[in-house]
Amino acid sequence: MHLVLPPGDIDRWPVDVMQVDTRPGVSFLVVGLWTAEEGASDLSLELNLTTDPATGRVTGEYCGLHVM
């Protein structure tokens, strides 16, 4: 499997963003993955993005790879 960028503009890529209510500054993302072989695949990458309020620095935390 070879992951590739989805076609089109970045604002049209398959990404769902949810705010984590129990952790201010943390967003949970589900990103649909694309492969060179299939195009849109049935896999999604799940991760948390955390923004440090003091510095504005954003860090990522891998949560899982999910079959949709």
Concatenated DSSP letters of 4-48: EPPSS-GGGS-EEEEE-TTSTTEEEEEEEEEETTTEEEEEEEEEE
pLDDT at residue 68 tops 80:
no
Mention every residue, 6+ apart, whose C-beta is less than 8 A from residue 60.
47, 48, 49, 50
The predicted-structure confidence for 14-65, as pLDDT tens digits, reads as follows 899 998 888 888 999 999 999 999 999 999 999 999 999 999 999 999 999 9
